[in-house]
Structure 1
Amino acid sequence: MAEYAFPAQLLEELHAHWRPPHSSTSSALPDDLTLLRLLETCYHASLRTAELRATRCVLAYVSTDSLSNRSLLRFEHPAILTASELVRLAPVTELHRTLIGCHHFGGMLKIWGLFEHGQAWQTVDSISGTTTREEDLPDDCLTITIEGPGALSVARGEKEVVRLRDGKIIAPHKHPLRQMDKPLGTFFETLVKGLKEPETGDAIISSFKVEREQLLDIYMMAIARILERIRSERHGGSVVISASPLSRRVAYRTYTVIGHAALADDILNHCRALRGLQAAPIDPSSEAERFRAEAAVRQSSQSLIRGVNRVSLLAAIDGAVLLDGKLRIEGFGVRFPVLLPPDTTILDALTGIEYPCDEWGLRHQSVFSVCQKCDEAVGFVISQDGSVKAVKSVQGRLHFWDGILD
């Protein structure tokens, strides 16, 4: 029987990975007794519901002295940290934006209140690891994210240190979507380089003063949010992104739309807003200018989130959601009638194990078939059990990457 990990097993990983490599600064990791109390309280809260609503929130072990006063909502009487308190407070927080703050008061762990952290869009991604620029957390701040029943993610400041999911301890690793020397990373980097300004047709990277990494990060964040939203609905689904148009013979579109703006336009607008916020002065005399820049980031963030939600909801329809390189909806309820050749296999890119394609269900085989037919396509399969796979043909051979969101 496989060993099932519990919060106490996270302590060793935290001690091993808490301090960044080559860092000479002292570590602010709390003592083991405090760590265990924080982890176990979050773990027990994750297993509880309120009015059938799952508990999802972020708990930060941080003193109010380390944070900006304007972001704080302090309780007059701090509450003792318990699973019940976390379940009660979770609905008023937005995952990865409003955090629950706790610290020691008179030798006891207590919740001192809530605080805002960054913008709604900037800190939602587990793929890019993009850090926020506004209201950053202290470098040594310990945060524990309750992602779902029995699922915790522990971070040091902005950087994830370790994750507990499905009874397994998952150490941080370079995500396959962000490895630019690997097939998936190369594919998406090429798509981003090919984005054009809608007015002039010039390449965005050369005409727009934005760092390539920032644009790529937000592009990947959009994809991650689409997949995460589909997974959270538990109905399963599939998404195919194709750099080149697919003929009707390869992709039969049950439903098509007209006048749909590409998500890439929202991504570009959000990049512009972020650059404006970064360039805004921070002196008191320019407070109005900075507030306008922050409002622009919030507005572009909300527009991007609406677009992501629209795409993800379409996955509930039988068939795939088909997007082009600008993340524009080409169709949904899409069927791929091209059959796989007999005895076709697919390679697990992480383990090197080869599997017959006919061992998988119809949803998987449908995505396998279009990726086998088109080298310029990447497919994502979201199963009802929550697993998420990426699929791509590499030099004529099908590969898949499991656990894309883990």
Structure 2
Amino acid sequence: MLHSYPPELARLVRERWDEVQAVGSSRLPGLSALEELLSICYQASLLREEERPVTFRLILGDAECYPADAGPPWGLHRLMFTHARPLDAHELRRLSPAIKYHRALIGVREDGRGGFEIWGLLHSGPRWLHAAHGGRGSWSSLPPWALVIRASGPGQLAVARGPVTLGELQGGRITGPAVDVFEARWLSEGFEEVHAELTALHEEARPLARTPGAELDPEVTRLITWQMLKRLITTIRRAHHGGTLVILPPGEVGTAAGLLRIKYEFCEGEPRRRYRTLILATMDALAGRSKAWAPPSAAVGWDIYESSTDPHLVNLDEAVSELSTLIAGLADVDGAVVLTRRLELLGFGCEIGGELSEVPSVRRALDMEGMRYSIEPTETVGTRHRSAYRLCQHIHGALVIVVSQDGWVRFVTWKEGGVTYWDHAVTSGDV
């Protein structure tokens, strides 16, 4: 039996399949077979197993495509059943508690008779989540050519080619892949001045070091900051309370003082600037401790930071993680958490001034840079979103990240003449 949503999702996946560049090849099933596969997954997602929701990741491809001697954290551990099982919704229901969503995938192949069968499982480990959730060690062991279906909740499906999402079914809506705002040029440009400050401070300190360190790739500071923000967003999403992060240009803090009523404001001083202290310490440690083994002519980049097992760097990364957890927890109180672009923590429980004029409509970005957009009225959105729109209309340098109770993430800012928002892509990992 086909359900109404899977055929639409199948057509979207077929349209976008070849848009994703992939090494290797995988034959996508015919349209009717793909519809049937998605329909089975959709039906399974609506079931429950002993009062638990049915969640799973499914990967399509022959077992022989995966090496027999690999495993996490660097590869996929292949385990084949002695006898393949016919694929249906109830088999997925029975397997879902054992083949954990975060750590393993159900291996499926075409059975040669127009249907599908389950040949076993692939254990991936949880590192695939790090790229979206923040943290070092982010790496996808999924082959870039494979069809992957993620069922993260009742009626919630995402279909990907390897790690790249092609289409999603969420809340009865079928959409193309959401934008990963952290890849947008406009966001990087907004933090350029702050990251240049950090680089200058690090360069000033290099000659004073006992052992002059290696040169750092300037991208490192940006990527560490992005990891911090991703961790913040992920922690707020997992609380299922929702929250708002207001991020101001350092020079606009005075301007915002009359517009933001911060109930719990922190004292000026080093403690509220802890992120800056930690990232400078990370830069210094990365440069100093990498000199002995980094290529002589190469700048030390993100790949070295991400893979380093140096105890001092590991401790600094843990300190950044703890800080992000602290800040995200402050969002559980009604009102926004307020930071600067240096991620200096000004306070929380902030009310955005109600006297600011309403914004009757905003731009919904249709691409990464907001060059294409549609106009949407604001009367149907909640208080969090309307407050964000009002602030960004008044302070053009403000960036507001709104996390809804249901986990949706929206970036809001002023861009080229209007308040614009992006719905940010989130990995369906919080199940």
Question: TM-score, with normalisation over the residues of structure 2?
Answer: 0.68
For 2:70, the aligned partner's letter is R
Partner residue, 1:254: 263
Aligned ranges for residues 299-314 of structure 1 at < 5 Å? 307-314=323-330
Does 1:45 find its partner at 2:44? yes
Q: 1:9 to 1:398 in 2, by over 3 A?
A: closer
Distance of 1:232 and 1:50 partners within structure 2: 22
Larger radius of gyration: 2
Distance of 1:113 and 1:192 partners within structure 2: 43
The size of the alignment, in residue pairs, is: 378
Aligned ranges for residues 195-274 of structure 1 at < 5 Å? 195-196=198-199, 209-210=216-217, 212=219, 216=222, 219-220=225-226, 222-244=228-250, 246-247=253-254, 248-256=257-265, 259=271, 261-262=274-275, 265=278
Q: Is the 1:41–1:83 Cα contact (8 Å) retained in structure 2?
A: yes
Deviation at 1:178, TM superposition (A): 3.2
Q: 1:38 to 1:378 in 2, by over 3 A?
A: same
Deviation at 1:13, TM superposition (A): 2.2
Partner residue, 1:149: 154
For 2:275, the aligned partner's letter is A
Q: 1:78 to 1:230 in 2, by over 3 A?
A: farther
Q: Is the 1:99–1:116 Cα contact (8 Å) retained in structure 2?
A: yes
Does 1:347 find its partner at 2:347? no
338, 359, 380: which one pairs with 1:322? Answer: 338
Aligned ranges for residues 169-188 of structure 1 at < 5 Å? 169-172=174-177, 175=180, 178-180=183-185, 182=186, 184=187, 186-188=189-191
Aligned-partner SS, 1:393: strand
For 2:216, the aligned partner's letter is K
Distance of 1:267 and 1:44 partners within structure 2: 50
For 1:324, the aligned partner's letter is T
For 2:253, the aligned partner's letter is L
Q: Is the 2:79–2:121 Cα contact (8 Å) retained in structure 1?
A: yes
Deviation at 1:349, TM superposition (A): 4.2
Deviation at 1:365, TM superposition (A): 3.9
Deviation at 1:46, TM superposition (A): 2.5
Gap runs ≥5 in structure 2 = 72-76, 207-212, 296-303, 366-372, 427-431
Deviation at 1:319, TM superposition (A): 0.4
Aligned-partner SS, 2:130: coil
Deviation at 1:262, TM superposition (A): 2.1
Distance of 2:320 and 2:88 partners within structure 1: 35
Aligned-partner SS, 1:259: helix
368, 382, 389: which one pairs with 1:368? Answer: 389
Q: 1:164 to 1:335 in 2, by over 3 A?
A: same
1:203-230: CA deviation from partner (whole Å, max 9, x where unpaired): 9xx9753373x76456445434533543
Point out the more displaced range, 309-318 or 296-305: 296-305
Distance of 1:348 and 1:358 partners within structure 2: 14
Aligned-partner SS, 1:249: coil
Distance of 2:198 and 2:65 partners within structure 1: 40
Distance of 1:188 and 1:160 partners within structure 2: 27
Q: 1:293 to 1:401 in 2, by over 3 A?
A: closer
Q: 1:52 to 1:320 in 2, by over 3 A?
A: farther
Q: Is the 1:18–1:27 Cα contact (8 Å) retained in structure 2?
A: no
Q: 1:35 to 1:340 in 2, by over 3 A?
A: same
1:9-42: CA deviation from partner (whole Å, max 9, x where unpaired): 2222222221247889754323446533432232
Distance of 1:27 and 1:155 partners within structure 2: 13
Aligned ranges for residues 5-20 of structure 1 at < 5 Å? 6-20=5-19
Deviation at 1:314, TM superposition (A): 2.4
Computed over aligned residues only, the root mean square deviation of the Cα atoms, in angstroms, reads 4.7
Distance of 2:340 and 2:234 partners within structure 1: 19
Question: TM-score, with normalisation over the residues of structure 1?
Answer: 0.71
State the identity as a percent: 24
Q: 1:192 to 1:376 in 2, by over 3 A?
A: same
Q: 1:388 to 1:134 in 2, by over 3 A?
A: closer
